[in-house]
Amino acid sequence: MNIVRIVLVALMVFMVGLLAVLALTGVNVVRQDEPQWAETLEHLQQNAVDKSRQSATYLSYARCAAQEHRSDAEHLFRAMSAAECIHAKNMQRALERLGGRFCRSDNGTDLEMVHGADSVFSTRENLLRSLRREDTLSLKVYPAAIDRAVAEDARYAARVLLWIAGTDMKHARMIQFCLDSPDVSCDSVCYWVCPTCGNTFTLRIRERYCPFCMTHSVRFLSF
């Protein structure tokens, strides 16, 4: 009987130990299955969709500016539309490099895109709305996203977000100049856009190499 009891106790201890190991292993598996860059992946997904929509919005603003014979604003909106498209593609690439998959969302309605396409607002109103958007993104949204990406060790995503934040900040200054100097004509090339990172330059200031990604200026897109 003593031997049986000893065996039963030993078996119970073994089973308790096995259950404990399985429980701990299960916890570890769950933790490993959770995305390491969950918040960064979510931000990249949401903002890649937003950037794609905004690219279309800026194109509609450019058409509105052309109707009002505001060539300066038209060139600027076309340049910013190209930059937004490049930003969206870079975000998608960063998302995929982190193991995510970009899901194109057709849900919801971009109010600015619809109004812009219908030319409901004037060019000045479109510039003011664009200025508020670019300021908000560059000063509030992207700094927090960059800090999050760095904390999650998503370095490539952090680099892409830095490119975007810097470009959006420049866009805000360009929009402000366009608002302050509405009589400046622009019948030829006024802006250059880096095809790699979306960095935007005015005709007066064109670097030989993009300071963000070191792309040579011969590859820049002109608007």
Model confidence pLDDT, tens digit, residues 130-177:
999 999 999 989 999 999 889 988 899 999 999 999 999 999 999 999
Torsions phi, psi for 32 (to 5 deg): -70, -30
Q: In what order do the strands lie in the sheet with 191-193?
A: 200-202, 191-193, 221-222
| Residue 144 domain-assigned (yes or no) | yes
| Kind plus residue range of the DSSP H or E element containing 200 | strand 200-202
Mean pLDDT calculated for residue range 35-50: 83
| Residue 204 domain-assigned (yes or no) | no
Mean pLDDT calculated for residue range 7-25: 42
What pLDDT is recorded for position 84?
97
| Residue 131 domain-assigned (yes or no) | yes
| Residue 222 domain-assigned (yes or no) | no
CATH of the domain at 147: 1.20.1260.10
Q: Which two tokens mark 79?
A: 């340049």
73, 185 Cβ separation under 8 angstroms: no
Q: Report the candidate in 164, 163, 146 with the shortest Cα–Cα distance to residue 155.
A: 146
CA angle 149, 150, 153 (to 5 degrees): 90
| Residue 211 domain-assigned (yes or no) | no
Mean pLDDT calculated for residue range 188-197: 89
> Which class for 143: exposed (0-12), middle (13-18), buried (19 or more C-beta within 10 A)?
middle
| Residue 55 domain-assigned (yes or no) | yes
| Residue 88 domain-assigned (yes or no) | yes
Range of the domain at 83: 38-184
Mean pLDDT calculated for residue range 185-199: 85
Mean pLDDT calculated for residue range 5-23: 43
User: Is residue 65 very low, low, confident or very high in pLDDT (cuts 50, 70, 90)?
Assistant: very high
Distance between CA 88 and CA 12 in Å, rounded?
Answer: 58
171, 189 Cβ separation under 8 angstroms: no
| Residue 126 domain-assigned (yes or no) | yes
* Domain count across the chain: 1
What pLDDT is recorded for position 221?
95
